[in-house]
Amino acid sequence: MISLSIKNLSKNGYSAIKKYNRISTISTTSSSFIGNSLIPIKSISSSLILNNNKSIGSTTLNIKRFYSATNNNKNSDNSQDKKQHNFDHDDTYHNKEEFTKPPKYFYAVALITIACIGTYFVDNVISFSSEQILQDIKTILKSEDALERNNALKSISTRAGQAFCVEKVFKLGVVEVLVKALDDPDPIVQATAIKTLNRFSFFCFETFGDEAVKKGACEALTRIMLSDGMNCEAASNLWFHYFLSKTNQIQLLTSSDLLYCLQNLAYSDRFELQRISIATIKILFANRELYPMLNKLKGMISHLNKSQDVLISNHAEYYLNVLKGEYIPPVGNISLPDEELDRKFKIHSCYNLLLAPLTYLYCCSRWKKYTRDPIYLKAKGIYGGTMMLLAAVVSSLTLFPDYHPSKINARLKKEFSLNTKTIEEFERCKAISLAEAVTLVDKNKNNNNNGNDNGNNKDETSDEEKKKTGLFGFGKSQEEKEKEKEEKERVKREKQGDNILFSPNSLFTIKQASPILTYSILFTGWKHARFMLLPALALLIPQVYDFSVM
């Protein structure tokens, strides 16, 4: 249409020019009779022709520019509509059909997880069964096959890492069975028995060690060390684990059998056993409550002072001078790491909770590839972070018993008691040392009474100090007694709650509910927030390889 109109305009223009030329030729013929007027007429006509040609050309160019501009606008509008259409129907964005379905392999992974949880539940039920524990005990005591005895001991060993089994195993008398297994003729079975007892100590169940020493474990360990067999080093490690307990230290110093065992190590010709004995003495000297009974070790220390090993001799000389009052006693801490375990639990819990904001950022960064809607993007990130927060809270709560074995120990101590002879001997030694301290104070007081008035004033102040601090630290001040009373009341209140929370049935229920709740939350987050695999692994892997004593 545009080209046709241009042609018509051009034709009309040329027809007008022809008519004008025809008129101009007529005028020229008529002006031939006029003299010099021909020249201006021709110049005028030529200028008119040029002006007409210029105006016609400009109009045709303007028409072309107008129609070309409108054509370009239409093309640009069509391209924008095409881009918008492609954006709305692009398969790389979140409204595609793939995101309306569960993630790829979702149901396959869910089925595998359900199977693993079911296996975990069945194994825990078998471990928790009293009949199965009694069957393992019967196998250890009566089976003639060393392999069966060894497998039964391994089955008992696995229960040390299951907090809900510890109290039940203890009450069924497993400790005495393990002590008897230390004298097994097969060295492999003997090594497994040592490993099993050591494993309970490794998980900080102190009462197991106290009961084992009471049942005669140290006598059996001494026989193993003196025999210089393949289990000598393992027996020495278990020996040291046991005497980190204050209860076992009291049993050692009040039992003639245990003192005889330590004496056999000290009088041995082997330097390794002498080092074990001097290291045990060092542990005993770190406990201030045992000082009234440490004189029983004077003969052993004197013999070790004559050792050809210079290091052993120097240590023995130091402890002899401590007993004489010439050197300051060593300072140390022999308590089991309850505070350290609590600190690790806090670190593990903070790590779990920190995964929630990291999951939010991770989901948002991954969803940027699939959507340009900031609201949709942040909604997915918030959903993933919330699911991770819930899973972290559940996981941290169920880890509490694993990091606080002292709560279970408190329940076990109700089933454990020292021998009456041990208690009587300990109280007798404390009474003797207290009487000696009172005699020493009275002697100093009499000496001060013979002094001047300043000395009398010092006696008055010393009496006031005695009321506050006791006699040379052996007695207890009124403030200390009040603090002890408050501490006992607090412990009593805590025990009332612990009796319910840390019972075997409660711990078993918590342990079985934990994976069900945790994995349900994580799978829900994976289904809706999509990118939850890496955060879930970050949450679950530390539970398998955690940084506790486990």
492 domain residue, yes or no: no
- Of 285, 301, 324, the domain-final residue: 324
Q: Are residues 182 and 306 in the same domain?
A: yes
Task: Give the whole-angstrom CA distance, residue 184 versus residue 216.
Answer: 14
In this prediction, residues 205-213 reach a mean pLDDT of 91
Residues 153 and 285 in one domain: yes
Q: Which domain holds residue 11?
A: 1-26+41-64
Is 169 part of any domain?
Answer: yes
Token pair recorded at residue 484: 């002890």
Domain check: are 187 and 165 in the same one? yes
Residue 332 lies in a domain: no
78 has a pLDDT exceeding 60: no
Q: Which of 301, 324, 347 is the last residue of a domain?
A: 324
302 and 399 in one domain? no
> Of 344-358, 405-419, 459-473, 498-512, where does the model show the most confidence?
344-358
Q: Is 475 within the bounds of a domain?
A: no
Domain count of the chain? Answer: 3
Identify whether 523 is part of a domain: yes
Higher pLDDT pick, 296 / 469: 296
Residue 296's CATH number: 1.25.10.10
- Give the separation between CA 481 and CA 461, rounded to whole angstroms: 21
Residues 303 and 154 in one domain: yes
Residue pair 201/208 in contact by the 8 Å Cβ criterion: yes
Is the pLDDT confidence value at 497 over 60? no
Residues 228, 178, single domain; the answer is yes
Q: Categorise residue 228: left if φ over 0, alpha if ψ from -120 to 50, beta otherwise.
A: left
| Residue 163 covered by a domain | yes
User: Any idea which of 110-119, 331-340, 467-476 has the lowest mean pLDDT?
Assistant: 467-476
Say if residue 3 is in the same domain as residue 139: no
Q: Where are the beta strands (DSSP E) in 281-416?
A: none
Amino acid at site 461: T
As a whole number, the mean pLDDT across the chain is 77
Q: What is the pLDDT of residues 385-403, one digit of tens each?
A: 999 999 999 999 888 888 8
The one-letter amino acid code at 122 reads V
Residue 181 and residue 298 in one domain = yes
Q: Residue 416 corresponds to which amino acid?
A: F
Query: pLDDT of 266-285, one tens digit each?
Result: 999 999 999 999 999 999 98
What residues contact residue 456 under an 8 Å CB cut-off, 6+ apart?
448, 449
Instruction: For 5, list phi and psi in degrees, rounded to 5.
Output: -65, -40
The pair of structure tokens assigned to 44 is: 């005028």
Give the closest residue to 261 by CA, choosing from 288, 236, 295: 236
Query: CA 445, CA 463: separation in Å to the nearest integer?
Result: 10
Residue 312: half-sphere exposure toward Cβ, Cα within 13 Å = 26
Q: Are residues 200 and 314 in the same domain?
A: yes
Q: Are 305 and 171 in a shared domain?
A: yes
pLDDT at 101: 78
- 64: confidence class by pLDDT, cuts 50, 70, 90: very low
Does residue 427 lie in a domain region? no
Tokens found for residue 358? 């990291």
